[in-house]
Structure 1
Amino acid sequence: MNRNLCLFLKSLVNQGNTFVSTDYALEWIKEQNERVEVSVDQIPFSKLKNWKLSHNNLSHESGKFFSIDGIDVSTNYGNVSHWQQPIINQPEIGYLGFITKEINGVLHFLMQAKIEPGNINYVQLSPTLQATKSNYSRVHKGNAPAYLDYFKNATKDQVMLDQLQSEQGARFIKKRNRNIIIKVEEDIEILENFLWLTLAQIKELIGHNNVVNMDTRTVISGIPLGDLTSESVEVISIFEDVKWNSFNKGLLKSYALDVNSYNSLNDIILFITGRKCELELEISKVPLMSLNNWIVGDTAIYHEEHKYFEIIAADIKIGNREVINWSQPMVKPVQEGLCAFICKNINGVLHFIVQTKMECGNFDLIEFAPTVQCLTDNYKNNTSLKTLPFLKQVLNAPKEKVIFDTLQSEEGGRFYKEQNRNLLIMADEDFPLELPKNYIWMTFSQLQTFMKHNNYINIQARNLLSALSFHNINS
């Protein structure tokens, strides 16, 4: 078995030999929150420093960071064929990276207690390095991010994971980040707001509301556990730290490449290729000031029906960032969202109901998404319950079938206090295998295979997959 895979698995399964306890980590992040001085005030667009709201867009005077643009969208996907909206245009590829190191024989991840102005509780556990190109290029004239040189100078042998993954396709236009994990052998200086945690501890902390940030979740979702074989699964299953109930057994088998899956990899490729050939998407840029059904006010850009989201201007003061005072636009939600996977053991192997979802900012029309994804409209209404597949099953799932249920923040650097309910639901044995046209059964290994090829698994699905663990389940 690949050595990196062994290291990841041991860090995932083993609950002993940790550098600090998980309880200590929770207390530590609480103390970080209590110590921090943060002020975020909504201001008029005219008060934004170094930003300009023009007829065409809202942009930074440097031409860097990001802009808020207007787009016109036409498609044959879904019930709405044409609309206009604001969208974040940030073509830069940023770093989301972890430094890892073996401590007491177990791989540990260097976590950062990072303050983001849009976080629900300001400080959350982020990757070692979380920086846009404008940040690490120091366009803001602030300090360089800590540990940047470890990633810039990493050798091929040090890199354990390196992927380009998409951001929210309904909010960003073709945005990607570099998700990277490197391993070091030498001792490194640990700064005040950094902490070593194992993969098992990170996943346990994901079970708490708004503790682990979105960038951490997207990186660890890509960790390659899908190179297992059925034979190696049988060996791993003797690990003493794992309680081998039906969910865990199904999950472990779902990691295996040669498992008896409901659909073959070729079936899934044919499925998504067919969907892409059926769909049409045309996007053109339009002036921000002339968007249909959107109102540009002094302090917000919002939809005339007060739904979807708003664009606001924020003045921000934070004590320990590279820059301690700045202003910027942010996306503000108008309701809480819902993302959920329904899963089922098929022939003893855990499978997930995955949908193909088109969002206007996607690189290639559609990406694989959770069974239910409701982010930009109110799902708690009769129309949604009647028309959206599987929503009723998710909302009415009995407690004993809920594997995972938490509130998780979106990325706090662009989104202001946005959180979504994340659920994993275990279906009954008599749950039908036949699915609607836009849905397909996939194993974890199959999802991982597509994740390696970039821009196939959307960020909402990756966030949910990051929570999968042998320890933090309710069943």
Structure 2
Amino acid sequence: MADVTARIARSAAAVESPLTDLAGFDDWFAEYGEKICTTAERVPLAALDQWYETPVTGDLRHRTGKFFTVHGLRVHDPTGAVHWWDQPIIDQPEVGILGILVKEFDGVPHFLMQAKAEPGNPGGLQLSPTVQATRSNYTGVHKGRPVPYLDYFRDTSRHRVIADVRQSEQGAWFYRKRNRNMVVETTTEVEVLEGFRWFTLGQLYLLLSRDDIVNMDARTVMACLPARSRPDGALHRTTDVLSWITGARSLAGVSTQRIALSGLDEWEHTDMGYSHESGGFFDVIGVSVTANGREVGGWRQAMIEPHGTGVIAFLMRRINGVEHVLVHARTEPGYADVVELAPTVQCVPESYRWLPSAARPRHLDEVLAAGPDRIRFEAVLSEEGGRFFHARNRYLIVDSDVPEDPGHPDYRWLSMDQLTGLLRHSHYLNVQARSLVACLRGLETARSAR
């Protein structure tokens, strides 16, 4: 693995490539965006052909029984600021593939990325992994064109697997959703199809610092890459960190119960979807999608539309000469293992207008008040555009002077090495933290490129 890590580091340091010139990236992106466009028009739930509201429960289900279901969830959190609540949630039990293909050119590993339009993307195209497909899609349930490059990830026997780990997605909106995050290297000839392009990792890091260019699925796969180790100096031993996470999972008292979507308390059901009676949090809506350049030219589906732009941030400081970030052992109702490590702050500030003051996240005010001299990274990035409509978050990395003992048992300082080690395994870092890990790794590339 040491040689792979060194080669990945070489790619992270390379911001120029004979295959892709970032100076011409915007022209390529714009030109391809004129050919590939996806539009989503709101429609009533009853107009979702191939979908139906089940008798008695009102759950939204595809007629094939595949893809996903939207049902109700009742959550009990006896130690939280809110003890009970109901909500809609997406149940998609199948495991999809998020895969990036790697090939070496002139001694530098390059990553094959796709310019992909999703119906929920706020600005059209974003860079996605080589393969980004649910099981229903890549097994042909949608009766569309085959997924390009899929065989590299379904049969890895002739290639080199660099990363392969199942990871969760948003635990507030997905019920126990997992995807297989893969990075596979090939030495065979690869035909580059229209809309695909080779990038060095360093180029991707530079693009990651721009709003809404690198999509969520690409960010989570990039986070799973091996990384060069840094000098030992972590504040906590890794065995103690693992024990802390296991203890948090064992003591968490959160329980969930599946209930009828039509029977949610404090939610209103109209022809156009489901909304919380406060007018906040998120809606479940129906959309009619028209797509050029996708496996299927059009379809209709349900989506989640959040209210407000979120704030997702790591506080960061140097301890024992080593950079650490403050992680939060966070409980969300959709997690398969109850607790995952989240960023220091992960919330939509607007939502706290309708919640008790005790629910306001620790450290949110510090992040919101941070001046430019303390902000190491900032970009507005979108979440997964296949299920979420215009879900955007302000991602930040902020210098902090929070003490080594953060004063709360759910928070702990971890080194980058420790995050990298945890990312070799499933369900330790949530999807928002994985996005920020990718951003953290890009800081060195961004400094060198200045």
TM-score by length of 2: 0.95
- For the Cα contact (< 8 Å) 1:339–1:422, is it kept in 2? yes
CA distance in 1, matches of 2:243, 2:427: 17
Q: Where does residue 446 of structure 1 map in the other structure?
A: 418
* 1:315 counterpart SS class: strand
Which residue of 151, 155, 167 corresponds with 2:157? 155
* 1:201 counterpart SS class: helix
The offset of 1:34, in angstroms, is 3.2
- Tell me, yes or no, if structure 1 residue 192 matches structure 2 residue 194: yes
- For the Cα contact (< 8 Å) 1:404–1:473, is it kept in 2? no
CA distance in 1, matches of 2:182, 2:224: 9
Q: Where does residue 44 of structure 1 map in the other structure?
A: 44
Please list the CA deviations of residues 101-141 of structure 1 after superposition, one character each: whole Å capped at 9, or x if unmatched.
00121100000001100001121000000000000001011
- For the Cα contact (< 8 Å) 2:215–2:381, is it kept in 1? yes
* 1:322 counterpart SS class: coil
Change (3 A) 1:467 1:46: same
Please list the CA deviations of residues 139-188 of structure 1 after superposition, one character each: whole Å capped at 9, or x if unmatched.
01111111111212212751111010000000000000000011111221
Q: Where does residue 3 of structure 2 map in the other structure?
A: 3
Q: Where does residue 91 of structure 1 map in the other structure?
A: 93
CA distance in 1, matches of 2:45, 2:179: 28
Q: How does 1:270-349 map to 2 (within 5 A)?
A: 270-349=243-322
CA distance in 2, matches of 1:452, 1:225: 11
Q: Where does residue 445 of structure 2 map in the other structure?
A: 471
- For the Cα contact (< 8 Å) 2:278–2:354, is it kept in 1? no
The offset of 1:43, in angstroms, is 0.4
* 2:378 counterpart SS class: strand
The offset of 1:385, in angstroms, is 10
* 2:389 counterpart SS class: coil
- For the Cα contact (< 8 Å) 2:82–2:359, is it kept in 1? no
Q: Where does residue 26 of structure 1 map in the other structure?
A: 26
* 1:181 counterpart SS class: strand
* 2:351 counterpart SS class: coil
CA distance in 2, matches of 1:4, 1:37: 37
The offset of 1:274, in angstroms, is 2.2
- For the Cα contact (< 8 Å) 2:347–2:361, is it kept in 1? no
Change (3 A) 1:263 1:277: same
Which residue of 372, 396, 413 corresponds with 1:423? 396
The code of the aligned residue for 2:104 comes to: E
CA distance in 2, matches of 1:184, 1:59: 39
Q: Where does residue 367 of structure 1 map in the other structure?
A: 340
CA distance in 2, matches of 1:172, 1:156: 34
The offset of 1:377, in angstroms, is 5.0
The code of the aligned residue for 1:11 comes to: S
CA distance in 1, matches of 2:35, 2:308: 29
* 1:452 counterpart SS class: coil
Please list the CA deviations of residues 4-34 of structure 1 after superposition, one character each: whole Å capped at 9, or x if unmatched.
1111111112234452122222332222223
- For the Cα contact (< 8 Å) 1:18–1:198, is it kept in 2? no
The offset of 1:410, in angstroms, is 0.5
- Tell me, yes or no, if structure 1 residue 457 matches structure 2 residue 398: no
- For the Cα contact (< 8 Å) 2:49–2:300, is it kept in 1? yes
The offset of 1:405, in angstroms, is 0.7
Which residue of 168, 174, 177 corresponds with 1:175? 177
- For the Cα contact (< 8 Å) 2:165–2:426, is it kept in 1? yes
- For the Cα contact (< 8 Å) 1:17–1:104, is it kept in 2? no
- For the Cα contact (< 8 Å) 1:18–1:106, is it kept in 2? no
State which drifts further: 410-419 or 30-39.
30-39
Identity, % of aligned positions: 37
Q: Where does residue 79 of structure 1 map in the other structure?
A: 81
- Tell me, yes or no, if structure 1 residue 432 matches structure 2 residue 403: yes
* 1:441 counterpart SS class: strand
* 1:110 counterpart SS class: strand
Q: Where does residue 242 of structure 1 map in the other structure?
A: none
**Structure 1, unaligned runs of 5 or more:** 229-252
- Tell me, yes or no, if structure 1 residue 13 matches structure 2 residue 23: no
Which residue of 136, 139, 144 corresponds with 1:137? 139
CA distance in 2, matches of 1:341, 1:122: 28
The code of the aligned residue for 1:24 comes to: G
TM-score by length of 1: 0.90
The offset of 1:433, in angstroms, is 1.8
- For the Cα contact (< 8 Å) 1:372–1:390, is it kept in 2? yes
CA distance in 2, matches of 1:463, 1:89: 22
The code of the aligned residue for 2:418 comes to: Q
CA distance in 2, matches of 1:83, 1:402: 35
Q: Where does residue 128 of structure 2 map in the other structure?
A: 126
CA distance in 1, matches of 2:446, 2:197: 21
The code of the aligned residue for 1:464 comes to: L
Change (3 A) 1:426 1:380: farther
The offset of 1:73, in angstroms, is 1.0
Please list the CA deviations of residues 281-317 of structure 1 after superposition, one character each: whole Å capped at 9, or x if unmatched.
2211111111111111101211111111100000000
- Give the aligned length: 444
The offset of 1:3, in angstroms, is 1.7
Which residue of 393, 402, 408 corresponds with 2:366? 393
The offset of 1:384, in angstroms, is 6.0
Which residue of 102, 107, 116 corresponds with 2:104? 102
Change (3 A) 1:17 1:322: closer
Change (3 A) 1:377 1:360: farther
CA distance in 2, matches of 1:358, 1:156: 40
The code of the aligned residue for 1:53 comes to: E
CA distance in 1, matches of 2:416, 2:194: 36
- For the Cα contact (< 8 Å) 1:308–1:376, is it kept in 2? no
What's the Cα RMSD here? 2.0
Q: Where does residue 235 of structure 1 map in the other structure?
A: none
The offset of 1:453, in angstroms, is 1.5
Q: How does 1:344-355 map to 2 (within 5 A)?
A: 344-355=317-328
State which drifts further: 364-373 or 1-10.
1-10
